[in-house]
Amino acid sequence: MKKKPIDIVEIYTREDLRRFVNFSFILYGQNPHWTPPIIEEEIDTLDQSKNPVFKNAKAHYFLAFKDGEIAGRIAVMINWIEVKKLKKKKVRFGWFDVIDDINVTKALMEKVHAIGNENGMEFIEGPVGFSNMDKAGMLVRGFEESNTMITWYNAPYYHKHFKQLGYKDLAVWVEYEITLSSFESSPEKIKKFSDLMIKRYELKVLDFKSKKQIIPYVDKMFILLEETYGKLQTFVPIQKDQIKQYKEKYFTYIHPEFIKCITDKNDELIAFCITMPSFTRALKKANGKLFPFGYFYLLKALYFNNKASFYLIGVHPKYQNKGVTAVIFNEMQKTFNKKGYNIVETNPELEENSSIQNLWKNYEHRQHKKRLTITQKIKKGAKNQSS
């Protein structure tokens, strides 16, 4: 029986980007574990006229068609800062979704190879976004768990497809769910250690009551983020225009009491933590739309919740492995207990980040998710022939 052809079409218009984004709703709309994004925010991220990352990056978007229906999607990206300044000849791919047909996956990945080849790249990595501030990682464990607003969800067959096509695993992240007791019942070891670190290094914990109080520290947080993760293989420096965009994108979701900053005796920022109430249930109810009720669901999640999610943690290299993460979590627990939160979900942490994972061992916890990126050398001679 003759195989039916798979057509790969490059798309360009905002209306086509809407079809691109909506494919995940078609594929996972009936899956109770999938947390949908806000559609307009996704489109703005991919829109070259909206996202400042395109001052230093390029992207191609493809839809796969089988039997006249959309069967897959992929974004193929090159971050020129990564290529030119960091000397990493890498082509990125992300926003990858596909039906359970390895031929569709193969056809989409051929586009990644072709674009990498045309631009002189040497290897592929994905799924990732344009930079470290975007979602990254293919789920390989925890398919029965819901993804957070800052992670992707995917079916188990994705990784199987890539394995069959000869791709290798690269970066690996793990995620944890922490169950909190009352502060009085929390580990004495952590409380004592936290107090000791504060006294030893003359640290100050900053508590915020309003968003206005946070603003003077936001740029400092991004600077510290680069100092924290700058040496990681996957890190790409964040540009000023991108920082502005992230401020605008996430400020809506921020509850000031869920942010902690730590300064030294000279009032220099040496660590920070941004957590958020979990928006998973709210996003499921919103189903991709802020109107008419999406804003209400998100606002309600800010104030009526029992679960939080870690978003970003930054610690100056000088203070890494000196117990500052214990200070951060100890201070956050005070806020969580005050607000009646009893569950905290971590953001993806690199598997080799033993210092933070050792902290979770002091609490009731479970590693409930695992995700990774895959890689392969660029196939020389591959040509991009869009339909």
- 201, with CB counted inside 10 A (0-12, 13-18, 19+), is middle
- State the pLDDT at residue 263: 96
Between 379 and 230, name the one with better pLDDT: 379
Q: What is the mean pLDDT of residues 261-274?
A: 94
Instruction: Classify 253 in phi/psi space as left (phi over 0), alpha (psi -120 to 50) or beta.
Output: alpha
Chain segment 132-160, per-residue pLDDT in tens:
889 999 999 999 999 999 999 999 999 99
H/E element, 298: helix 294-303
Chain segment 306-353, per-residue pLDDT in tens:
999 998 888 999 998 888 988 998 999 999 999 999 999 998 988 988
Please check the confidence at residue 387 and state whether its pLDDT lies above 60: no
Q: What is the mean pLDDT of residues 187-202?
A: 90
Q: What is the mean pLDDT of residues 88-117?
A: 98
Share of the chain above pLDDT 70, in %: 97
Q: What is the mean pLDDT of residues 13-33?
A: 98
Q: What is the mean pLDDT of residues 49-72?
A: 96
Length, in residues, of the chain:
387
Under 8 Å between Cβ of 333 and 157? no
Give the whole-angstrom CA distance, residue 240 versus residue 55. Answer: 11
Give the whole-angstrom CA distance, residue 87 versus residue 13. Answer: 32
- State the pLDDT at residue 2: 53
| Topology alike, domains 6-174+372-377 and 177-368 | yes
Under 8 Å between Cβ of 307 and 343? yes
Domain spans of the chain, in order of start: 6-174+372-377, 177-368
Q: What dihedral do alpha carbons 192, 197, 202, 206 form, nearest 10°?
A: -80
Q: What is the mean pLDDT of residues 91-99?
A: 98
Chain segment 204-239, per-residue pLDDT in tens:
999 999 988 998 898 899 889 888 877 766 678 878
Domain spanning 6-174+372-377: which CATH class is it, in words? alpha beta
Give the whole-angstrom CA distance, residue 322 versus residue 320. Answer: 5
Q: Residue 7 carries which DSSP code?
A: E
Domain spanning 177-368: which CATH class is it, in words? alpha beta
Please check the confidence at residue 90 and state whether its pLDDT lies above 90: yes
Q: What is the mean pLDDT of residues 185-199?
A: 88
Chain segment 272-299, per-residue pLDDT in tens:
999 999 999 999 999 999 999 999 999 9
